[in-house]
Chains A and B, each alone.
Chain A
């Protein structure tokens, strides 16, 4: 899956779960309001994961480092 496909799949999953949960207050469905925040945190985690996968397998030597 591409990153965009993962993003869309995760979003659909979160919506489905939230709809089943039925969080509501004052006539307003809450999960739809929180979509931006969910997306943001999920994407940040995904980006960290992608960066870790793309990182060199062996870290570069650190000059001046001491045990």
Chain B
């Protein structure tokens, strides 16, 4: 069993840097056939070690001397921010005018500390990578999931500066309309393992070289083709849903903090109330599923209380995704969610409530506003078993209907990694 507390140093196997994340997890076992794995996310390293794979966290390269170096370097870099923050504050005021006070006159009060916090985090990653490099371990590649955040971009930037190939395996951020600026289109990775043709378009339209983008499928969805998918009757039995009742699955959303678009809470509230009204009018069973990244605690959501008030039978959950989808007659999402694709893979028709600047590029799923969601639900319900749903999935998951995306992605990565 490999030592989980340190990067394996013995042996001549090349090292692959991996960010972690659920989109990369289906790749780990096949990657480990050729590489030792060094993870950005320590929990991912622990999980990989638990699976018997040769893995360790990147941070395990940091010792006491390096830790002191990180602290000193971070302070020195943050001092540069402090010395120039007054100019930044003045420019913010010119751009946003009477904006929020903290951006319009108060930036020097908080921005240097905020920057130091981030600088310390990123220097810790870069210093660990420097130490791995000094230890003579050969890093042959880097695989990240969405290199838009600080840590994953650090991996990619460090590798790019050294000519090491970098790969992004996105989670399908392909619902932005053309011409819309958003950080999700700005991956810095050299190669992009796109899930399907629509994701190729998404990145190519935003200036990425189409020669470095391949439509390979979504590895994180392989489980929906090969896993144990429950039957509808079993799903309803487990969730306590009567067999003869129409079941509507409502997928909530989460606040996009990388843009100032949409109506946010007010939009969510209007969407939920429209769906609740539909469930009431149709005497339907309503499943309210919380988004996995919705940071609010369950008890803060009004879903169950609202259902009680409206005399609508239902449940609220953050889990049981496959069971909920199989039990439901139709799904309605609070935005053009990836859940629509999973629903289609599992045979459940879907629709969604539109939001500013986001939409699927395909005719399906059905879509509308709170005022029109009744007709949209009717159209979705009538489309169950239509062949167009399979065509829709194929646009966003090239591995459909086989579901072997992980193998395709690993083979593609291997073809771009030089071991000699």
Contact = CB atoms under 8 A, between A and B. Distances in A.
Given A36-B149, A48-B100, A27 B119 contact: no
B91 A13 contact: yes
Nearest to B94: A13
Interface residues of A, number: 39
Contact of A4 (B87, B123, B259): B259
B103 A26 contact: no
B87 A43 contact: no
Given A34-B115, A36-B150, A48-B100, A43 B122 contact: no
Contact of B259 (A7, A28, A35): A7
A30 B188 CA distance: 13
B95 A10 contact: yes
Contacts of B99: 6, 45-46, 49
Interface string B81-96: 1001001100110011
Given A10-B92, A25-B73, A33-B157, A47 B118 contact: no
A50 to B, nearest CB: 7
Contacts of A30: 77, 119, 122
Interface in A4-58: 4, 6-11, 13-14, 17, 20-23, 25-30, 32-37, 39-50
Given A21-B80, A34-B115, A36-B149, A26 B260 contact: no
B168 to A, nearest CB: 14
A51 B231 CA distance: 45
A36 B258 contact: yes
Main secondary structure of the interface of B (DSSP, over half): helix
A44 B260 CA distance: 8
B122 A25 contact: yes
B259 A45 contact: no
Contacts of A3: 260-261
A33 B151 CA distance: 7
Contact of B130 (A26, A32, A33, A34): A26
A42 B161 CA distance: 29
Contact of B95 (A13, A28, A29): A13
B183 interface: yes
A7 B129 CA distance: 33
A52 to B, nearest CB: 8
B281 interface: no
A60 to B, nearest CB: 16
B183 A32 contact: no
Contacts of B118: 34, 37
A34 B126 CA distance: 13
Contacts of A11: 181
Given A21-B84, A45-B102, A47-B264, A8 B122 contact: no
A12 B305 CA distance: 44
B85 to A, nearest CB: 9
A4 B95 contact: no
Contact of B100 (A21, A25, A28, A46): A46
Interface string B108-129: 0000001100110011001101
B84 to A, nearest CB: 6
Interface of B: 73, 77, 80-81, 84, 87-88, 91-92, 95-96, 99-100, 102-103, 114-115, 118-119, 122-123, 126-127, 129-130, 148-150, 153-154, 157-158, 161-162, 181, 183, 188, 257-261, 264, 357
7 contacts: A4-B259, A9-B95, A13-B95, A23-B119, A26-B130, A39-B258, A46-B103
Given A26-B127, A30-B77, A46-B96, 17 more contacts: A3-B260, A4-B181, A9-B95, A13-B91, A21-B81, A23-B119, A25-B123, A26-B158, A27-B158, A29-B157, A36-B150, A36-B153, A43-B257, A43-B258, A45-B103, A48-B100, A50-B260
